[in-house]
Amino acid sequence: MKYTPENVLKADPYNMSGGIYDFIDDLNNAMETPIDYEQDFENVIICGMGGSAISGDILVDCMYTESVYPVVVQRFPELPKWVNENTLVIMASYSGNTRETLALYDEVAEKGYKMVIITSGGRLLDRAESDGHYILKMKSGIQPRCATGYSLGLMFALIDHVGDTSFRNTVKRLTPKLKNFRDELASNRSMAWEVARRINNRTPIIYSTVELSSSALRWKTQINENSKMMAFSGLMPEFNYNDVSGWSEGSVRESCVPLFLCEERMTKVRKKAIYAAIDVLKTYGLEPMVVKIRGRTTVEKLLRAIMIGDYVSLYLAYINEVDPSEVASIAELKIRLADLLPYGKAWSKKKK
């Protein structure tokens, strides 16, 4: 079936394409949020799940070459012992009702530590307002996975304010180029469409360098949720020490496809490691997919890689004739987990 933007819109009744298109606009709008918060800190922990945690992962990657303090994303609802009053705690949940995040909130609150809350509402907002924590409010009425741009923008604004970074200026300089790139991805010239077409109903395994690991994970989760397909992500050069053996023989060769996010600008060592792996796979008769990621900085490469992956997931949904917005299986699982994962003090008691 020939791709046209009109065809995608017909297969997208709840406008996931609009949410994907708004990523850069949401990022910029959120970065304009005034920050009135001060805290001396030695490390940072970002507590969240799903799209909220992905925003934290992106921030971690963006700070890879800049940060003088450790930044960690915590998904499991138990607080690491190293967290203390000198930790900048960011509690992120778009809905405000994520049980694991609420459990972490209760644990941090019980210890009496300060928190910055990023949410659009729910129980997390109610608790934070009642307890007097600093709140960065997100816009409401969108799919949580479409809120990643807004959540990331708020994190950039916060870290710039308290951590003396310059992410806002960096993104603002990149925005004209990124908007042009977005329009290409949404057009009949879209490289994302070609990538989706070449995946051809196989399970993609997305590999990247450590610096772009959050973008590979974002590809995976977007393909899972939007395209209703299995996908996995991995790292280079770790691939060379284990994954390559799995690709050498067996049914995985027919049912899966290796896909490498390759930076156009990278060190010679990284380039040799990635292309050596690609060449080895070719000797096994495989045809690895290579998606080249342009950009001078880590921030630019990450944002471009995320944008491509978002559109790949949208076009795969179109090819698979599924609604990219619908996630009934996740909703059902959350209902089943409600009795198993009570948040707050009930969770603490269950651990014992």
pLDDT digits (tens, 9 = 90+) for 277-296: 999 999 999 999 999 999 99
Q: Which of 161, 23, 19, 139 is nearest to 90 (CA)?
A: 161
Q: Which domains does the chain have, with CATH numbers?
A: 10-171+334-351 (3.40.50.10490), 190-320 (3.40.50.10490)
Sequence-ordered alpha helix ranges (H) in 33-98: 50-62
Q: Phi/psi of residue 93, each to 5°?
A: -150, 115
Tokens of 97: 């009702």
Q: Phi/psi of residue 135, each to 5°?
A: -120, 130
**CA 269 to centroid of chain Cα atoms:** 26
What angle separates helix 213-227 from helix 50-62, to the nearest 10 degrees? Answer: 160
Q: Which tens digit of pLDDT belongs to each residue from 24-50?
A: 999 999 999 999 999 999 999 999 998
- Average pLDDT of 325-343? 56
- Residue 321 — very low, low, confident or very high, per pLDDT cuts 50/70/90? confident
- Residue 237 — very low, low, confident or very high, per pLDDT cuts 50/70/90? confident
Helix (H/G/I), strand (E/B), else coil: 161: helix
Helix (H/G/I), strand (E/B), else coil: 116: strand
The strands making up 203-209's β-sheet, listed across from edge to edge, are: 232-236, 203-209, 256-263, 289-293
Q: Which tens digit of pLDDT belongs to each residue from 196-226?
A: 999 988 999 999 998 899 999 999 999 999 9
pLDDT > 50? residue 145: yes
pLDDT > 80? residue 70: yes
192 or 343: which leads in pLDDT: 192
Q: How far apart are CA 67 and CA 37, in angstroms?
A: 19
> What pLDDT shows up at residue 13?
77
Q: How far apart are CA 102 and CA 88, in angstroms?
A: 17
- Average pLDDT of 2-19? 72
- Residue 10 — very low, low, confident or very high, per pLDDT cuts 50/70/90? low
pLDDT > 80? residue 164: yes
Q: Phi/psi of residue 25, each to 5°?
A: -65, -45
End-to-end CA distance of the chain: 56
| Neighbour count for residue 86 (Cβ, 10 Å) | 13
- Residue 342 — very low, low, confident or very high, per pLDDT cuts 50/70/90? low
- Residue 76 — very low, low, confident or very high, per pLDDT cuts 50/70/90? confident
- Rounded to two decimals, what is the model's pTM? 0.90
- Work out the mean pLDDT of the chain and round it to a whole number: 89
342 or 159: which leads in pLDDT: 159
| Neighbour count for residue 210 (Cβ, 10 Å) | 14
pLDDT > 70? residue 333: no
Tokens of 307: 């944008």
> What pLDDT shows up at residue 27?
97
Q: Which of 230, 264, 221, 257 is nearest to 53 (CA)?
A: 221
Tokens of 144: 């949580």
**Parallel, antiparallel or unpaired: strands 116-119 and 87-93:** parallel
pLDDT > 50? residue 350: no
Judge whether 76 and 47 are in contact, CB under 8 Å: no
